Amino acid sequence: MELVWEGIRKAFDLLRTLDPEVLGITLFTLKVSLLATLASLVLGIGTGVALALNTFPGRRLAISLINTGMGLPPVVVGLFVTILLWRNGPLGVLELLYTPSAIILAQTVIATPIIAGISLSALQQLPPDLRLQILSLGATRTQMLWLLLKEARLPLLAAVMAGFGGVISEVGASLMVGGNIKGSTRVLTTATVMETGKGNFDVAIALSLILLALTFTVNAVLTHIQQRERPR
Amino acid sequence: MKKRILNVLGALLLCLGPAAAAQGTLILATTTSTQDSGLLDVLVPMFQKQTGIKVKTIAVGSGQAMAMGRKGEADVLLVHSPDAERAFMAEGFGLRRRLVMHNDFVVLGPAADPAGLKGTPSAAAAFRKLSAGAVTFVSRADQSGTHAQEKKLWKSAGFDPAGRPWYLETGQGMGATLNVAAEKKACTLSDRGTYLAMRKTLGLVILVEGDPSLANIYHVIELEPAKCPKTNAAAGKAFADFMVSAPVQEVIRTFGVDTFGSPLFFPDAGKKDE
């Protein structure tokens, strides 16, 4: 129990003194996960819209794949992205392995199906006549899409939160494709694993608390936006 | 629309990339002990300042480090698994292998010493005692240099512990394995450096030490460019030269004295190998 208190005290010390290394890791974690969430939003909502509004052969299969992808294990993503990015792998010429871009790429692969799956069900939940109504009022296809997304904004924000929560908390992929390199690709989760391995439990607890606080803050902001004005 | 999305994504991916894709980067594949003891946190910034070459340190076991070397996924290796290193050189993957430093392995266990290891004359005798199974033994089991050494010691004791209920395999680094051993009140084999760096949280004591068969020797290996054409050979050579240079050897000699009261590594550059 003493260890936990010591960890909490250490966490406040690290925050109060603005320890440059911890601060750097925290900001870097936030940056990487936000960029990955942003990329997944574009891809995920795009996929969700495409699947919700169109019918084509293989659509059910695509939806099953997306739903499976929502539970994609980060280590599996990490392994395949690593193989892809090896110097002698298919994308080796990009020299992305062990860089921040590699982490963003892997996290995007993890979050995209989560956001796609939730967007898809969000759009499917809208009344089916709504589309026809909007179109019959003379809206263009882009305008209709915009209105539909606006109508579904509550679950879409939930999708953002789920996607962000998924990537900021994962450790397997970041460790494999990033390499936990000091000052370059070390994020809060990989640093926590390393400090635990080194026996620095107080620092590990401190890092975990910072991670929790960070996740809470981002979600609080998103929740605030989500709940600001209730539709209808 | 689709093109714009792709453009945005491309920009997102690239905005963090260019710095790392520069010419002067070096992938150092090394063992967890050099990272967990904190030595690389001192040496890597020194090297980056001296040469301007950016180092990506990937801390894995010696076995995995050499596997990365074989695939050409690293530029230089800092490892401590002499038998495997000799095989690596014989296969032609290494250009040059130079002695850097040593410390030693120690057999650790709970202070109560249920297996009665204290005062055992040799490491082989200690491992024969361990084979009775009176105490749990935690193995790295990750093809690291320490794991190779442990297998060698079991062999010298004439015993194969695989599959015994008291033989636990973590498959993790030295630090994580020491934590497991501490929690299970078990015996384990560790390099002295990592043990000293973590001693405060462990509650494990040294039961066997000082046997010549417990020597832990680190070499730096440059890779053969003919076998791994994508290797940054110039940067690899710069790092190897750096490791055996006089100022670095002096840093190694004094590293840890102020924090742990005794040095964690002993510099060996230029000495005769084996």
CATH of the domain at B230: 3.40.190.10
B9 inside domain = no
A169-178 tens-digit pLDDT: 999 999 999 9
On whether both B119 and B186 belong to a single domain, the answer is yes
B233 inside domain = yes
Per-residue pLDDT, B7: 53
On whether both B136 and B230 belong to a single domain, the answer is no
Number of domains in chain B: 2
A118-148 tens-digit pLDDT: 999 999 999 988 988 998 999 998 999 999 9
On whether both B97 and B226 belong to a single domain, the answer is yes
Per-residue pLDDT, B4: 54
The kind and range of the H/E element at A89 are none
Question: Do B235 and B76 touch, CB atoms closer than 8 A?
Answer: yes
Nearest CA in chain A to B20: A99
Confidence of residue A217 (pLDDT cuts 50, 70, 90): very high
On whether both B210 and B108 belong to a single domain, the answer is yes
Q: Quote the percentage of chain A above a pLDDT of 70.
A: 98
On whether both B84 and B160 belong to a single domain, the answer is no
The token pair that represents A136 in the structure block = 């019959």
Q: Quote the percentage of chain B above a pLDDT of 90.
A: 70
Per-residue pLDDT, B19: 38
On whether both B40 and B53 belong to a single domain, the answer is yes
- Where is average pLDDT lowest: A21-25, A77-81, A186-190? A21-25
Nearest CA in chain B to A3: B201
Question: Do A51 and A113 touch, CB atoms closer than 8 A?
Answer: no
| Residue-range definition of the domain harbouring residue B194 | 104-214
Question: Given CB atoms, is A89 within the 8 Å cutoff of chain B?
Answer: no
A106-123 tens-digit pLDDT: 999 999 999 999 999 999
Question: Given CB atoms, is A92 within the 8 Å cutoff of chain B?
Answer: yes
**Gap between the Cα atoms of B223 and A31, Å rounded:** 35
User: Across A3-7, A73-77, B173-177, B262-266, which has the greatest mean pLDDT?
Assistant: A73-77
Per-residue pLDDT, A182: 86
Question: Given CB atoms, is A91 within the 8 Å cutoff of chain B?
Answer: no
Which amino acid makes up residue A50? A
- Whether the pLDDT of residue B21 is over 70: the answer is no
Q: Count A/B contacts: CB-CB distance under 8 Å.
A: 90
Per-residue pLDDT, B274: 59
On whether both B38 and B95 belong to a single domain, the answer is yes
**Gap between the Cα atoms of A26 and A20, Å rounded:** 10
On whether both B134 and B230 belong to a single domain, the answer is no
Question: Do B140 and B170 touch, CB atoms closer than 8 A?
Answer: yes
Q: Report, at the CATH architecture level, how domain A2-228 is classified.
A: Orthogonal Bundle (1.10)
Q: If you average pLDDT over every residue of chain B, what do you get?
A: 88
**Gap between the Cα atoms of A145 and A49, Å rounded:** 8
B201-213 tens-digit pLDDT: 888 999 999 999 9
Question: Given CB atoms, is A141 within the 8 Å cutoff of chain B?
Answer: no
B10 inside domain = no
Q: Which one of B15, B16, B183, B230 makes the best mutation probe of the A interface by having the most chain A beta carbons within 10 Å? A: B16
In chain A, where the domains are located: 2-228
Residue B192 backbone dihedrals phi, psi, to 5 degrees: -65, -35
Per-residue pLDDT, A230: 61
Q: Which residues of B touch A (CB under 8 A)?
A: 5, 8-9, 12-17, 20-21, 27, 32, 36, 41, 44, 54, 56-59, 71-73, 172-173, 175-176, 178-179, 197-198, 200-202, 230
- In angstroms, the separation between the Cα of residue B76 and the nearest Cα of chain A is 15
Per-residue pLDDT, A227: 86
Domain boundary among B214, B229, B256: B214
On whether both B53 and B82 belong to a single domain, the answer is yes
A12-58 tens-digit pLDDT: 888 788 888 889 999 999 999 999 999 999 999 999 999 999 999 99
Mean pLDDT for B138-165 is: 94
Question: Do A188 and A207 touch, CB atoms closer than 8 A?
Answer: yes
On whether both B128 and B69 belong to a single domain, the answer is no
Residue A110 CB coordination number (10 Å): 26
Residue B230 CB coordination number (10 Å): 16
- In angstroms, the separation between the Cα of residue A105 and the nearest Cα of chain B is 7
Complex ipTM tops 0.85: no
Question: Do A131 and A194 touch, CB atoms closer than 8 A?
Answer: no
B71-80 tens-digit pLDDT: 889 999 999 9
Please judge whether A88 and B17 are an interchain contact, meaning their C-beta atoms are less than 8 angstroms apart: no
Confidence of residue B272 (pLDDT cuts 50, 70, 90): confident
B154-183 tens-digit pLDDT: 999 999 999 999 999 999 889 899 999 998
Confidence of residue A199 (pLDDT cuts 50, 70, 90): confident
On whether both B233 and B173 belong to a single domain, the answer is no
Which residues of chain A from 21 to 50 reach within 8 Å of chain B, CB to CB?
A: 35, 38-39, 42-43, 46
φ/ψ region of A192 (left if φ > 0, alpha if ψ in -120 to 50, else beta) reads alpha
Q: Which one of B33, B60, B73, B200 makes the best mutation probe of the A interface by having the most chain A beta carbons within 10 Å? A: B73
B180 contact residues in A (CB cutoff 8 A):
none
Per-residue pLDDT, A59: 94
Q: Which one of B41, B56, B264 makes the best mutation probe of the A interface by having the most chain A beta carbons within 10 Å? A: B56
On whether both B171 and B228 belong to a single domain, the answer is no
Listing DSSP states for B99-110 in one string gives: EEEEEEEEEEE-
Residue B76 backbone dihedrals phi, psi, to 5 degrees: -155, 150
Residue in B21, B56, B197 nearest the CB of A184:
B56
